[in-house]
Structure 1
Amino acid sequence: MIQVYKYDENFMFVEPLVVTEIDEKGDYIFPDNCTSVPLPDSPSYYLPRFDLSKQVWIETASQEYIDSLSPPPEEPSDVELLGQSLAEARILILKQNRIILNLQNEVKNLKDGTTA
């Protein structure tokens, strides 16, 4: 048993097939428009076409086509936006608290320096 790859009249990939039929020499009998050349795994192709003369699969999909297959990024929900605003506010408060603490330490050091 062997897996082969069927292509159409334009050499575009159609489907994988399993071949089990063997001739008298022990060779597998491939259906028409099939090849044993596997499609690449990495990167996999979106619109593979078989190049009969080179015996390789090539990608025919444009980058625009490939990009169109990806769903657009989702807009953040109101809850996510609120959470982001809350996180930003907390960061701002922490920064302000650090500034206040530094200023308090400076005042204390100045007082200690003048009374000493």
Structure 2
Amino acid sequence: MHIYYFDENFKYQGEDVISDYEEMPKNATDVRPKKGLYLPEYDADKREWFESASEEYIESLQPKPPLPNDIPTLKKQMALLTLQVSQIQRGGSS
């Protein structure tokens, strides 16, 4: 049987497998936490897990938007500089 541990504040601490003949530890339940919880917390009266993470904490875990791709900009700048150098070289040699 799968069991799910919680600490003294009922925060999720991990899971384990025990035999059906072993006694359930006091700091565990056989109720599986719902998927998608960031900081699961167990409500022993309702026998269910709920989200205890703040909105700010959840947002801090979201991936940052990718940086804009600067390669096209750099290519344009390189082409412009190459053109300017070639114009300077032609102007200087005539």
TM-score, scaled relative to structure 1: 0.58
Measure how far apart 1:77 and its partner are. Answer: 2.7
Moved over 2 A (4+): 80-83
Following the alignment from structure 1 to structure 2, what is the Cα–Cα distance between the partners of residues 82 and 76? 12
What whole-Å deviation, never above 9, does each CA across 1:22-58 have from its counterpart, x for those lacking one?
A: 1xxxxx41122000011112xx100111001111101
Following the alignment from structure 1 to structure 2, what is the Cα–Cα distance between the partners of residues 80 and 11? 52
Taking only the aligned residue pairs, the percentage that are identical comes to 38
Q: Which has the larger radius of gyration?
A: 1
Following the alignment from structure 1 to structure 2, what is the Cα–Cα distance between the partners of residues 56 and 71? 29
Following the alignment from structure 2 to structure 1, what is the Cα–Cα distance between the partners of residues 57 and 50? 15
Which stretch of structure 1 is more off in the superposition, 71-80 or 46-55? 71-80
**Larger relative helix fraction:** 1
The AA in structure 2 aligned to 1:36 is: D
RCO higher in structure (CA 8 A, sep ≥6): 2
Secondary structure at 2:64 match in 1: coil
1:99 maps to none
Q: Which runs of 5+ in 2 are unaligned?
A: 77-94
What whole-Å deviation, never above 9, does each CA across 1:50-88 have from its counterpart, x for those lacking one?
A: 0011111010111111010113112123115569x9xxx
1:32 maps onto 2:26 in alignment: yes
